[in-house]
Amino acid sequence: MHVFRRVVLPVSYLVVLLIIAVALAWLAFRPQTSETVGGEPTGETLAEEAIVERGDVSNKLTFDGKIEVEPAKDAKASETGTLVHVFEESGRQVKQGAQLYQIKVEGEAPEPAPEPGDGDDLGDDAPAPAAPPAPRPRYINVVAPADGVVGEYSVEKGEDVSKGQAVTSIEQDSFRAVASIEPAQLYRIPKMPGAGTVTITDGPQPFECTSLRLNQVSGSRGSGGTDTSGADEEPSDDSSEDAAPALGAGSGPSLSCEVPDEVTVYNGLDMKLELDAGTATDVLVVPTTAVRGAIGEGSVWVIGETGEPVETKVKLGLNDGEHVEITEGLEEGQTIAAYVPGAQPEADEEYNDLGEFDAGDM
* 311-336 confidence digits (pLDDT tens): 999 999 988 889 999 999 999 999 99
Q: What is the pLDDT of residue 238?
A: 41
What is the structure's pLDDT at 93? 92
Assign 346 a pLDDT band (cuts: 50, 70, 90): low
Residue 98 domain flag: yes
Q: Quick one: average pLDDT of 327-346? A: 86
The residues pairing with 160 across neighbouring beta strands, listed in sequence order, are 82
Task: Give pLDDT tens digits for 122-154.
Answer: 555 656 666 666 678 889 999 999 889 999 999
CATH number (domain holding residue 98)? 2.40.50.100
Q: How many domains does the chain have?
A: 1
pLDDT of residue 240: 39
pTM: 0.58
Domain contains 85: yes
pLDDT-based confidence at 243, cuts 50/70/90? very low
**97 domain-assigned:** yes
Q: What is the average pLDDT score of the chain?
A: 79
pLDDT tens string 188-198: 888 899 999 99
Query: What per-residue confidence (pLDDT) applies to 99?
Result: 93
All residues at 6 or more sequence positions from 198 whose CB lies less than 8 Å from its CB, including other chains: 177, 206, 207, 208, 209, 257, 259, 271, 272, 273, 274
Please report the pLDDT score of residue 362 as a whole number: 42
In this structure, is residue 47 part of a structural domain?
no
Quickly state the pLDDT bin for 287 (edges 50, 70, 90): very high
Determine the structural domain holding residue 98 and report its residue range: 72-105+136-171+225-246
The model's confidence at residue 354, banded by pLDDT at 50, 70 and 90, is very low
Please state whether 286 falls in left (phi above 0), alpha (psi between -120 and 50) or beta. beta
CA pair distance 289, 185, nearest whole angstrom? 16
Identify the bridge partners of residue 101 per DSSP, sorted by sequence position. Answer: 86, 142
Residue 163: the pLDDT is 92
Would you say residue 10 lies in a domain?
Answer: no
Greater confidence (10 vs 313) lies with: 313
pLDDT at 40: 53
